[in-house]
Amino acid sequence: MEEEKPGLVVGKIYLIPTTLGDNAPLEVLPISVKGTIERIDHYIVENEKTARRFIKRVSPNKSQPDLHLQLLNKYTNPEEIPSFLDPCIHGHDIGILSEAGCPGIADPGADIVRVAHERRIKVVPLVGPSSILMAMMSSGMNGQSFAFNGYLPIDKAERKKNLKGLERLSRDKNQSQIFMETPYRNNKLVKELLKTLQKSTRLCIACDITLPTEFISTKSVHEWGEIEIDLDKRPTIYIIHA
């Protein structure tokens, strides 16, 4: 185990989970998240407006003008990322906030964490909701072997090929395959799943996880074909097992 140099105080990186929707933060987050947010003033976030709103909901009395926020999203110059950790070198802890769920999981926060490890800065993950794991927990599928595949290709032909490949991989390895879609394309994707997958393949649809409208169900593709379901603009995780 490496020891810090005498007199050197280096801040830590805290991976702070957020809610998966517009529910009260402390209904789904542990009190440790509130305590961490109340003492940290330096943050790396995807969106400043939503990050400030989340921080205010968790800690209403926290001074917003004292917050130092760095933006990390698809527009961020990769060469700037190492400088985001400079506050740690000066002894300040930094919190990483995702737009929804856990930082670093299907989230650009992973880039910061990688650099933190390279610079030997301690990384502290906090407990919170992950739609991917919660969907897997609820699916009844193989919790011993599963893979998250992110977003499927947008091109229709490529997506069909990808789905067939995931179904074959699931069957050959007895491995559940998890993926997601942009919410406004959900209904179109469901139709494609029902046309592309084998009728016996099991499909879990996990929608609005942790919200009052939460819907989680696992059925065969054949059974889903007999059901009307509207997932438009609702965050959804899909899992298949052949």
Phi-psi group of 75: left, alpha or beta (phi > 0 → left; psi -120 to 50 → alpha; rest → beta): alpha
Which run of H or E residues covers position 52?
A: helix 48-58
What is the overall mean pLDDT for the chain?
A: 93
94-148 pLDDT tens trace: 999 999 999 999 888 899 999 999 999 999 999 999 999 999 999 999 999 999 9
pLDDT of residue 8: 62
DSSP code, position 7: T
Nearest Cα residue to 99 out of 58, 44, 152: 44
Q: E strands within 53-139?
A: 68-71, 94-97, 123-125
Q: E strands within the chain?
A: 13-16, 42-45, 68-71, 94-97, 123-125, 146-151, 176-180, 202-207, 215-220, 236-241
Alpha-carbon distance values, 142 to 23, 35, 165, 168, 176 (Å): 30, 36, 18, 15, 6
Model's pTM, two decimal places? Answer: 0.90
170-221 pLDDT tens trace: 999 999 999 999 999 999 999 999 999 999 999 999 999 999 999 999 999 9
pLDDT of residue 3: 47
With tokens 């305590």, the residue in question is 35
Q: What is the total residue count of the chain?
A: 242
Question: How far is Cα 36 from Cα 89, in angstroms, rounded to an integer?
Answer: 19
Q: 3-state DSSP call for residue 161?
A: helix
Range 25-48 average pLDDT = 95
User: Taking the CA of residue 195 as centre, how many other CA atoms within 13 Å lie in the half-sphere pointing to its CB?
Assistant: 11
